[in-house]
Amino acid sequence: MKSIKITLILLIITTVANAQLKVGGKLSYGSEIESLGIGAKAIYELNENFSLSGELNYFFGITTTTTNSFMGQNFSSSEVDTGLVTLNTDLHYNINISNSNDLRFYGIGGLNFSFYGTDVTAHNSITGSTSADNNETFIGLNLGFGGGFSITDKLDLISELKYIISDLNQIVFSAGAVYSLN
Is 153 part of any domain?
A: yes
Q: How far is CA 35 from the centre of its chain?
A: 13
pLDDT score, position 128: 72
- Give the number of residues written for the chain: 182
pLDDT at 121: 80
What lies within 8 Å, CB to CB, of 85 at 6+ separation is: 56, 57, 58, 59, 114, 115
Query: Which pLDDT does position 65 carry in this prediction?
Result: 72
Backbone angles phi, psi at 15, to 5 degrees: -65, -45
C-beta atoms surrounding 110 within 10 Å: 20
Overall number of domains in the chain:
1
Quote the pLDDT of residue 144.
98
Please indicate, yes or no, if residue 109 is contained in any of the structural domains.
yes
pTM of the model as a whole: 0.77
Q: Please choose, from the candidates 162, 175, 136, the residue with its C-alpha nearest in 3D space to the C-alpha of residue 39.
A: 175
| Whole-number pLDDT of residue 14 | 52
Q: 83 in a domain, yes or no?
A: yes
Question: How far is it, in rounded angstroms, from Cα 92 to Cα 41?
Answer: 13
In a domain, 16, yes or no: no
- pLDDT at position 53 is 97
CA distances to 9, 11, 17, 161 from 5, rounded to whole Å, are 6, 10, 18, 43
Say if residues 80 and 63 touch (Cβ distance below 8 Å): yes
The per-residue pLDDT for 2 is 61
Tell me the mean pLDDT per 10 residues along the chain, length 182. 60 57 96 92 94 96 71 70 92 84 91 90 74 88 96 95 93 97 88
> CATH number of the domain that 106 lies in?
2.40.160.20
Q: Examine residue 4 and state whether it is found in any structural domain, yes or no.
A: no
Amino acid type, 22 = K
3-state helix/strand/coil string of 163-181? EEECCCCEEEEEEEEEEEC
User: In terms of residue numbers, what domain contains 85?
Assistant: 21-180
Determine, yes or no, domain membership for 108: yes
